[in-house]
């Protein structure tokens, strides 16, 4: 046995010593990244990636306990997050499956057979044969196909983790946007209800002046039309609010019929001043960018798997056990047997199939790199769009605030003039319509600024206080 084992061990040791990993080693794709943002206003500081003051609970900057509660609930019960987490755990299991290919397969087998052979012409008594054996086989990863498969599986798992992060960030941003839109609708309803009460007072004034003979009947009719329009607008805003409430219910994993957010008077919070990050840190922060980069790494590893198919496969196998007829003890020395030896397999001709598979892997890698670079460009565009929205809406908010103040003063003066008989009712209607329109416009601008703040947070990959994560390729 020693004479038989020695050559096998020598061959196996030589093969393992000469094992290599074929295929290109992965290098992160490069692209030119600007040093600053075009739309960043002067004076905005660059966030420091080393700042460790907070870790991603960015919605707390709005200081709204209802939003905090909804964000916590959605993170636990949203079904899209549950599905993304399951996909991530599935990807981890694929890594374990590929790692297992590095180790030998050991199996055991036992059987019993009763055999009779009347074909020889002489009847023989049936005999019972028994066997018990253990076998092991191992395919050494000489060319690195398994290691490249593990590399690919790990990159896919990291991409799946980034997809989970992207799904979570998208959920948080969508929930915050819908919540602020709902609170804007609450505030808009409050303004319209105030307008309804004011229109009722104007209607009473018009009716009093008409009965006194100092106003025409048309003043009363126009006041009634104005009151009906304000009431209709309040009802229409109620539809929008209900639909936003339904959307938030689904985001938090509940049926709309089992969910409600109580209306409440509130001062819509001012959008926080959000400092932009340097574009280089963005590539480490955005989960969709990180996911695209990991997919490129996985595609690169697949090239090595395809390249390894051009080399021969060595299988080391061994089997030993006992096999005996019924008249001999199963575990007797004469019943013992064993086999040991390597096997070499190589495909001589396949019509170019392996070459085609390798070319597919190369093309897939090039597509993944292009997708990664496009994702980076899209991320930079998202930041620029959010920054310009912040800047322009801030300017609009200042101008619209002045317009609201002027409209309120105009309505007050016009109403007093109408009571004194120095202004017509149409002047009052025009001033009232302008005042309400400006207040609603200012409220909508405030809502758009809040939405732009959320968009900027999402574009930057989360809370800007959060330090830049370690690149996935360098994580254990």
**What pLDDT, on a 0 to 100 scale, did the predictor assign at position 245?**
96
At how many degrees (to 10) do helices 217-251 and 145-211 cross? 160
**What pLDDT, on a 0 to 100 scale, did the predictor assign at position 468?**
39
**What pLDDT, on a 0 to 100 scale, did the predictor assign at position 19?**
62
Beta bridge partner(s), residue 178:
none
Beta bridge partner(s), residue 136:
106, 318
Q: Whole-angstrom Cα distance, residue 394 to residue 388?
A: 10
Residue 209 domain-assigned (yes or no): yes
**What pLDDT, on a 0 to 100 scale, did the predictor assign at position 91?**
95
**What pLDDT, on a 0 to 100 scale, did the predictor assign at position 403?**
93
Residue 4 domain-assigned (yes or no): no
Residue 6 domain-assigned (yes or no): no
Residue 292 domain-assigned (yes or no): yes
Say how far residue 37 (Cα) sits from the centre of its chain. 24
**What pLDDT, on a 0 to 100 scale, did the predictor assign at position 120?**
55
**What pLDDT, on a 0 to 100 scale, did the predictor assign at position 53?**
33
Nearest to 197 by CA among 223, 224, 227, 221: 227
Beta bridge partner(s), residue 137:
105, 317
**Half-sphere exposure in the Cβ direction for 332 (13 Å, CA):** 10
Q: Is residue 141 within 8 Å of 147, Cβ to Cβ?
A: yes
pLDDT tens, the chain, 476 aa long: 344 444 444 455 555 545 688 888 988 888 877 777 777 666 554 444 333 333 478 898 888 899 999 999 999 999 999 999 999 999 999 999 999 999 999 999 887 777 666 555 555 667 777 788 899 999 999 898 999 999 999 999 999 999 999 999 999 999 999 999 999 999 999 989 888 888 888 888 888 878 877 777 888 888 888 889 888 988 899 999 999 999 999 999 999 999 999 988 766 666 666 666 667 677 777 899 999 999 999 999 999 999 999 999 889 999 888 887 766 676 777 778 888 888 888 889 889 999 999 999 999 999 999 999 999 999 989 988 988 998 899 899 999 999 999 999 998 999 888 777 788 878 888 888 898 899 999 999 999 999 998 998 888 888 655 443 443 333 32
Residues 6+ apart with CB under 8 A from 405: none
* Total domain count, the chain: 1
Q: Is residue 74 within 8 Å of 175, Cβ to Cβ?
A: yes
Q: Whole-angstrom Cα distance, residue 199 to residue 193?
A: 10
Find the helix or strand (DSSP H, E) in which 209 lies. Answer: helix 145-211
Q: What's the longest Cα–Cα distance across the chain?
A: 136
Residue 76 domain-assigned (yes or no): yes
Residue 124 domain-assigned (yes or no): no
Counting every residue written for the chain, the total comes to: 476
| Domain ranges, residue 445 | 21-101+142-311+352-474
Residues 206-211: contacts with CB under 8 Å, at least 24 apart: 206/425
At how many degrees (to 10) do helices 287-308 and 353-420 cross? 170
Q: Whole-angstrom Cα distance, residue 67 to residue 21?
A: 52
- Domain of 361, CATH number, reads 1.20.1600.10
**What pLDDT, on a 0 to 100 scale, did the predictor assign at position 47?**
43
Q: Is residue 203 within 8 Å of 231, Cβ to Cβ?
A: no
**23-to-144, 181, 248, 418, 447 alpha-carbon distances in Å:** 9, 52, 49, 87, 53
**What pLDDT, on a 0 to 100 scale, did the predictor assign at position 471?**
39
Q: Give the DSSP letter string of 42-109.
A: TTPPPPPTT--S--S-GGGGG--HHHHHHHHHHHHH-HHHHHHHHHHHHHHHHHHHHHHTTS-EEEEE
Q: Whole-angstrom Cα distance, residue 81 to residue 168?
A: 6
Residue 173 domain-assigned (yes or no): yes
Beta bridge partner(s), residue 171:
none
Q: Whole-angstrom Cα distance, residue 476 to residue 469?
A: 13
The whole-model pTM stands at 0.81
Residue 156 domain-assigned (yes or no): yes
Q: Whole-angstrom Cα distance, residue 414 to residue 418?
A: 6
**What pLDDT, on a 0 to 100 scale, did the predictor assign at position 234?**
87
3-state DSSP call for residue 320? strand
């Amino acid at each position: 046995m020693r004479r038989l084992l020695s050559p096998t061990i020598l061959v196996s040791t030589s093969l393992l010593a000469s094992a290599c990993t074929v295929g290109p080693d992965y290098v992160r794709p490069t692209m030119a990244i600007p040093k600053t943002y075009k739309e960043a206003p002067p004076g905005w500081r660059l966030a420091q990636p080393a700042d460790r003051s907070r870790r991603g609970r960015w919605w707390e900057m709005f200081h709204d306990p209802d939003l905090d509660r909804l964000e916590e609930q959605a993170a636990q019960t949203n079904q899209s997050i549950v599905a993304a987490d399951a996909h991530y755990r599935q990807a981890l299991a694929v890594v374990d499956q590929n790692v297992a290919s590095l180790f030998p397969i050991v199996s055991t087998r036992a059987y019993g057979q009763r055999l009779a052979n009347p074909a020889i012409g002489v009847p023989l008594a049936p005999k019972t044969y028994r066997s018990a054996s253990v076998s092991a086989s191992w395919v050494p990863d000489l060319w690195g196909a398994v290691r490249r498969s593990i590399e690919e599986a790990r990159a896919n798992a990291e991409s799946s983790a980034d997809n989970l992060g992207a799904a979570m960030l998208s959920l948080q941003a969508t929930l915050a946007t819908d919540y602020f839109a709902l609170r804007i609708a609450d505030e808009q309803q409050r303004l319209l209800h105030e307008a309804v009460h004011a229109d009722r007072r104007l209607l009473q004034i018009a009716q009093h002046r008409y009965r006194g003979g100092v106003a025409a009947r048309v003043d009363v009719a126009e006041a009634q039309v104005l009151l009906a329009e304000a009431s209709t607008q309040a009802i229409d805003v109620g539809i929008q609010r209900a639909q936003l409430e339904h959307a938030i219910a689904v985001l938090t994993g509940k049926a709309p019929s089992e969910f409600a957010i109580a209306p409440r008077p509130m001062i819509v919070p001012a959008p926080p001043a959000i400092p932009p990050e340097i574009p280089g840190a963005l590539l480490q922060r955005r989960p969709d960018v990180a996911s695209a980069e990991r997919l490129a790494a996985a595609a690169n590893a697949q090239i090595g798997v395809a390249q390894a198919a051009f080399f021969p496969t060595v299988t080391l196998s061994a089997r030993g056990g006992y096999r005996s007829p019924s008249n001999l003890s199963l575990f007797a020395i004469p019943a013992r047997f064993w086999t040991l030896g390597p096997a070499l397999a190589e495909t001589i001709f396949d019509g170019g199939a392996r070459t085609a598979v390798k070319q597919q892997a190369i093309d897939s890698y090039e597509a993944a790199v292009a997708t990664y670079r496009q994702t980076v460009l899209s991320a930079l565009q998202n930041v620029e769009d959010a920054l310009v929205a912040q800047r322009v809406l801030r300017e609009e908010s200042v101008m619209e605030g002045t317009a609201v103040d002027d409209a309120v003063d105009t309505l007050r003066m016009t109403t007093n003039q109408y009571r004194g008989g120095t202004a017509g009712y149409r002047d009052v209607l025009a001033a009232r319509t302008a005042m309400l329109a400006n207040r609603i416009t200012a409220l909508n601008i405030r809502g758009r600024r809040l939405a732009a703040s959320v968009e900027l947070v999402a574009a930057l990959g989360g809370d800007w206080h959060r330090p830049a994560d370690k690149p996935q390729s360098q994580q254990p």
